[in-house]
Amino acid sequence: MENIVQQILVARRDLTRDEVLKRIYEKKRSSEDYFLDEVAARLVAAELGVEIESEQETFPGEIAIKNLVSGLNDVTIAARVIAIYPVQTFSRNDSTKGKVARSLLADDTGTLKLVLWDDKIELIEAGKMQQGQIVRVLHGYVRESFDGQLEMHLGKKGDVEISPQSVDENRFPRIADFIDKIEQVTPNKKKANVRGVVTWVSPVSEFTRKDGTHGKVRRVRLRDETSEATIVFWNEKADELNTISEGNQLRIINTRVKTGLDGRVELHVGNSSQVQKISGQIASPVTVTETASKIANLKTEGGPFTIEATVASTPTIREVNTSQGENVLLATFDLKDETGKIGITMWRKHAELAKDLTIGAQIKLRNIYVKRGFSNLLELASRNSTTIEITKPQTLPAENKAEQHQNKEQKIL
C-alpha cells in the first residue's frame, strides 16, 4: 500500500499524504473492511486517475528530487552534496540535548535540504560526508519546512551511502553549476551562491542590540569575472575571516540578497551560509568601474559609500581628547559635487592626509560613512577602512603659486 500511496502523491501534487490515506480508509469502511489496504489504495488511485504499476514492475528505488512531495515516506534519492552547514544543538522538552545538521543536495532536477538528527550527525562530525561527494540517501521521509521548502529527514531507519559504486557521478551537476555570476545577482533573487577574489577586508565592528546582546559585523569586497559586490559577514562568520586577506579566493554558498543603503546589492552571510577558501584562479577578474554615490542621495546614516567630490572649504585641523583620554587629530571641512554640499570629519591618519587638501582639489573617498553631527545634520565620517585618493589637485595661477610659496617661506621662518 505504501508504494501505491507514494505513486499517488507523486502524480497528484494537489493532495497531501493525510488526504490520500483518508480516502483509502473511507474506501475500506464503505466496504465494511472487506477490501484489503492495497485493494482500497488501488481503487482510490483509479478514482484519482493515477495509473499504478503492476506488481511485476518495480516502483523506482530512487526518486528524482523534482518528484518529491511532502508526506512521502521510505524514500531513496541519489544526489551530490553541494554544501554542509554547521551542526546545531538544541534542548528537548525532557531537558535532554539533541543535535541536528543540514546539508544541501542536488541532482539534475533540483536541490533539496537533507536533515540529519542525533546519532546520524556522526557522518558529518567524523568527516565521512563531504562537499562534492555523491551520496545515496536511504529510507528518508519528506516534510515541508517552516519556509515552505521541502526537506528530507533521516530517522533511525535511514542511512547514507557515501560514493556508491553503482551510481554514475557524471549524472549529477557539479558545484560550479550552482555558482551565480555577481553581475546577475539582483534584489529579486533571495539567495545566491558566489565565488570570487577578495579585494578588500574591513576590520570587525562590534555593536549592541536592543536586547543588550552583542554582535559583530565585517564587510568584504568580492570580485569575479563579471562584477564586484559587498559581502556582509555577521557574528561567528565575521570571526571566520581572521585567516582571510586580499587576494584569497572564496566560495560562499547560501547568502541572503539584500539592497544596501546606497541602492546596490549586498550579500549577507549568516549561520546558514557556508564559506570556503579555495585554491585556483577564476577566469580573468574584471576591473570593476566603481559607481560613486551623489551627495544629494545620502539621506540616511550608514555606509560604506564611495564619494567623488571637490574640496569646498579649507580643512580645519585640531587636536581633540577622546572619551578614552586619547589625544587625536581631527579635520573638518566641506565637500561638494554637482548635486549638493556636505560636511566631513576625518580622524587620526586621515586628518594628517587632510593637511594637504586645498579648496578646489578633487578627491575620491572609499568606505566612507554617513552619520549625524552635533547639529543633527548628516555628515561624512572616516573609519579605519576609509581610503582617500586625490584625483585632481587644485591648479593655481602662476602669481598665486608665487604668493603661496612666499607665505610658506614666511611660515617656516
pLDDT tens sequence across 323-352: 777 888 999 999 999 999 999 999 888 898
Cα(231)–Cα(79) distance, rounded to whole angstroms?
A: 29
- Identify the pLDDT of residue 134: 94
Residue 263 pLDDT more than 90?
no
287 band by pLDDT with thresholds 50, 70 and 90: low
Q: Report how far residue 350's alpha carbon sits from residue 382's, in angstroms, rounded to the nearest whole number.
A: 7
What's this model's pTM, rounded to 2 decimal places?
0.57
Q: How far apart are CA 270 and CA 267, in angstroms?
A: 10
Residue 280 has a pLDDT of: 66
116 by Cβ neighbours in 10 Å (0-12 / 13-18 / 19+) ranks as buried
Which domains, and CATH codes, for the chain?
Answer: 1-59 (no CATH), 60-177 (2.40.50.140), 179-278 (2.40.50.140), 295-392 (2.40.50.140)
Taking each helix axis from N to C terminus, what angle separates 2-11 and 17-30, rounded to the nearest 10 degrees?
A: 120
- Residue 71: how many other CB atoms lie within 10 Å: 19
User: 95 and 38 in contact (C-beta within 8 Å)?
Assistant: no
The average pLDDT across 353-362 equals 90
Among 100-114, 148-162, 382-396, the minimum mean pLDDT is found in 382-396
Look up residue 207 and give its DSSP letter. Answer: E
Q: Average pLDDT for residues 371-389, to the nearest whole number?
A: 85
Can you tell me the mean pLDDT for 136-149?
Answer: 87
Is the confidence at residue 160, as pLDDT, over 50? yes
Amino acid letter for position 116:
L
The pLDDT assigned to 401 comes to: 45
> Is pLDDT above 70 for 205?
yes
